[in-house]
Structure 1
Amino acid sequence: MNEQNSLTLIAREPARFDPVALDQLETTSRLEGMDRVVGLPDLHAGNGIAVGAAFWSQKRIWPHLVGSDIGCGMALWETSLAVRKFRVGKVERKLHGLDEPWDGPAEHALAKAGLPPELASPALGTIGGGNHFVEFQRIEEVVAPDRFAELGLKDDRVLMMVHSGSRGLGQAILQEQMARHGTEGLHDGAPDADAYLQRHNQAVAWAVVNRAVIANRFLDALGMSGNCLLDIVHNSVTRHREGWLHRKGAAPADCGLVVIPGSRGDFSYLVEPVPDRADDALYSLAHGAGRKWSRKDAHARLSRRYRVADMLRTKLSSHVICEDRRLIFEEAPEAYKDIAGVIADLEAAGLVRVIACLRPLLSYKTRAS
């Protein structure tokens, strides 16, 4: 862990961070009213704002630090299917039509979450683009057997991880804020701040509903049932110790178990936050491996070396469904950092305890029909 004024870097070797990401983090730390900034091990450059970071201010809220995908996060489901019965080919053949609008009772699903019917949208129940996905996994290793058993988890069931957010809703909210205020912070208690927080909270709730609908669509397509083990949010602003905690690509360390995914060709980790040192990292954890290359660079580097067909299997023998020719290169495993190193950084900082390691079986991005 490396500290400099109000900026803390969680890493064994901070010099390995991308200088552009560090510059973005430093710029944010100098905002008037910014009290603390933390860069997590998956830190990487974003669109003006570093991703993999947490920001705390006593008096101000900055919507642009949360970004456009308000409520984006991960849900992990334990399915009814035994690992020994999982057949990749059979599953692949059944996963069709899941990019189309959901034909279920959208208004009813939103109402159960306390959301108004006007937030119903054709995007509800769809994954979206970018780094969003649904991935089927199995337990590769139980690292903490006693804790695993205490949590009532099963090591013989297929798991399903859903990564998605608020789709166009969060983007519309941010665009409105930027048009009114730009990157200027909103003062705690001001009418504009209260109005943003109300819409922000709706987008977070919408994203949670979206992940649940996505999960149930996939379970229904495969004739399975399942239960949600966790749902965590990566992009948000929440009340924290008489101030405001912004997370931009950061998992919460104060909401129970966390799943931290690698790339589609690497392991994911189920971890339990350790409370003793949580404040060192603003009660936040890495939300994934973090990008090593930008999407543009990944496409340029890999599309010249590989065919699309080469990208449909990973080094772990997992399968990939992605019929977007550009996206399959942009989101390739090579474009991401080593997830084992990210987890080791969190462990070295005393922030997490690893419960289990998860192996990918099938990653779903998008399909034409």
Structure 2
Amino acid sequence: MGNCIQHLAAGVTLIAADNTWIDGDAIQQLHTTLTLPGMRHVAGMPDLHPGRGYPVGAAFFSLGRLYPALIGGDIGCGMALWTTDLDARKVSLDKLEKRLGNIDTPLDDDWQALVSTLAPPDTGFDPALGTIGGGNHFAELQRLDHIYQPAALEALQLDPRQLLLLVHSGSRGLGQFILQQQVSQFGHRGLEQGSPACADYLARHATALHFAEANRELIARRMLARLHADGEPVLDIHHNLVVPATIGGEAGWLHRKGATPSSAGPVVIPGSRGDFSYLVAPRPSEDSLFSLAHGAGRKWMRSECKDRLARRFTPAQLSRTRLGSHVICRDKQLMYEEAPEAYKPIDSIIDALVQAGLVTVLARLRPVLTYKTHGECC
């Protein structure tokens, strides 16, 4: 197990097996991040890949100073898993797709009472609530494909006869607005703990987390309503955030950028839209900064995906996956950018986490219907 927890340098850890594909630029970004003032420890997950200056699929622990730029613009991006009462044995994908229709538009007046109950007030971004957004965000109906730990599934009240709903989205434009304000005022040098600027950011950050969680719930409820189904939340976790933490006996700030917390109970680690997802029980560890991979992790830059794939696949062909699932995505460019080929195989990510002793796999989830966007714009 130990060889999957690699100590690349003092304060730099990488969770990866020998066959885990890791971009060298991402590792360089990991090392560069350690040079930020107050940074004590950085940890890359198996889905590590380069980001805009800082790596994605990583966690960062600092003392005395926190860094909004490490978290990025989609504060609160994360995953919510819901049960549904849709019968997995009687699925008609065409009917489900027709019922679902377009959920890119703002919620209508019938939803406003629930919006006011769930979401923080006066953010200026309410029209985005209940919408998924672009990039790698999605909502996906899934079925339980293989159960490894039946007792754990029973405890979570998951029924293999019924479909599940996984929602991946965040704070939409609100988080980006908050980040832009921070960078315009303070650049990338971070915020000193206890300063008025730090307190102000943390208050806005909390609002964005609240917004993101409400957004995922509204997406789930909107989809269930369209599908004439009922459901209940199973879990909801954030992948992009900063929290106070004590690690190695020191009190500081734990940042996650595309990393799943390992201290929040069972979590879902999804593959690409043409791959499985896994429900896992984390085993918290300081080596990984109490964090796990948040997905498969990109192999290719978005800008190169269409050139690599357009001669092999049409958008219509990409709307059907090797696992028999359907993908709703009317944005042709996004269809190529989010193709399964652009991502690492999810099994390689899960295997590295298992070998590192960081998770126990509870179940494998098979995609049934993935919603990205119904329109040409996200």
Question: For 1:226, what is the secondary structure of its paired residue?
Answer: coil
Q: CA deviation at 1:16?
A: 3.8
User: 2:144, 2:364 within 8 Å by CA — same for their partners in 1?
Assistant: yes
Q: CA deviation at 1:306?
A: 1.6
Amino acid at match of 2:227: L
Q: Which residue of 1 aligns with 2:260?
A: 251
Q: CA deviation at 1:151?
A: 2.8
1:11 correspondence with 2:16: yes
1:83 correspondence with 2:88: yes
1:265 correspondence with 2:301: no
Q: Which residue of 1 aligns with 2:170?
A: 165
1:284 & 1:105 partners in 2: Cα distance? 39
Q: Which residue of 2 aligns with 1:316?
A: 323
Amino acid at match of 1:346: L
1:209 correspondence with 2:214: yes
Mapping for residues 219-234 of structure 1, pairs under 5 Å:
219-234=224-239
Amino acid at match of 1:72: C
State how many pairs are aligned: 367
Percent identity between matched residues is 51
Question: For 1:356, what is the secondary structure of its paired residue?
Answer: strand
Q: CA deviation at 1:137?
A: 0.5
1:137 & 1:192 partners in 2: Cα distance? 43
For structure 1, the 5+ residue unaligned runs are none
User: 2:123, 2:174 within 8 Å by CA — same for their partners in 1?
Assistant: no
User: 1:106, 1:124 within 8 Å by CA — same for their partners in 2?
Assistant: no
Q: CA deviation at 1:85?
A: 2.2
Q: CA deviation at 1:104?
A: 4.3
Rate the CA distance shift 1:63–1:18 in 2: closer, same or farther, 3 A: same
Question: For 1:35, what is the secondary structure of its paired residue?
Answer: strand
1:72 correspondence with 2:81: no
Q: CA deviation at 1:146?
A: 2.3
Q: CA deviation at 1:107?
A: 6.1
Map Cα deviations across residues 117-168 of structure 1 (whole Å, 9 max, x no partner).
3445211110000011111100000011222223322111100111111000
1:199 & 1:299 partners in 2: Cα distance? 37
1:286 correspondence with 2:293: yes
2:107 & 2:24 partners in 1: Cα distance? 42
Map Cα deviations across residues 23-66 of structure 1 (whole Å, 9 max, x no partner).
11111011111001000000001111100000001211100000
1:195 correspondence with 2:200: yes
Amino acid at match of 1:357: R
Q: CA deviation at 1:84?
A: 1.3
Rate the CA distance shift 1:117–1:40 in 2: closer, same or farther, 3 A: same
**Which has the higher mean CA deviation after the structures are superposed, 146-155 or 66-75?**
146-155
Rate the CA distance shift 1:74–1:104 in 2: closer, same or farther, 3 A: farther
Rate the CA distance shift 1:105–1:116 in 2: closer, same or farther, 3 A: farther
Mapping for residues 66-215 of structure 1, pairs under 5 Å:
66-104=71-109, 108-109=113-114, 111-113=116-118, 115-215=120-220
Map Cα deviations across residues 156-203 of structure 1 (whole Å, 9 max, x no partner).
110011111100000000000000011001111111000000000100
For structure 2, the 5+ residue unaligned runs are none
2:20 & 2:279 partners in 1: Cα distance? 27
User: 2:328, 2:372 within 8 Å by CA — same for their partners in 1?
Assistant: yes
Rate the CA distance shift 1:14–1:357 in 2: closer, same or farther, 3 A: closer
Q: CA deviation at 1:105?
A: 6.3
1:63 correspondence with 2:68: yes
User: 1:2, 1:14 within 8 Å by CA — same for their partners in 2?
Assistant: no
Question: For 2:160, what is the secondary structure of its paired residue?
Answer: coil
Q: Which residue of 1 aligns with 2:6?
A: 2
Amino acid at match of 1:245: L
1:23 correspondence with 2:32: no
User: 2:21, 2:344 within 8 Å by CA — same for their partners in 1?
Assistant: no
Amino acid at match of 2:363: A
2:237 & 2:258 partners in 1: Cα distance? 11
User: 2:141, 2:369 within 8 Å by CA — same for their partners in 1?
Assistant: yes
Rate the CA distance shift 1:332–1:16 in 2: closer, same or farther, 3 A: closer
Map Cα deviations across residues 287-327 of structure 1 (whole Å, 9 max, x no partner).
00000111111122012322111111111111111000100
Q: Which residue of 1 aligns with 2:351?
A: 344
Question: For 1:102, what is the secondary structure of its paired residue?
Answer: coil
1:362 correspondence with 2:362: no
Rate the CA distance shift 1:103–1:25 in 2: closer, same or farther, 3 A: same
Question: For 1:317, what is the secondary structure of its paired residue?
Answer: coil
Amino acid at match of 1:323: R
User: 1:110, 1:117 within 8 Å by CA — same for their partners in 2?
Assistant: no
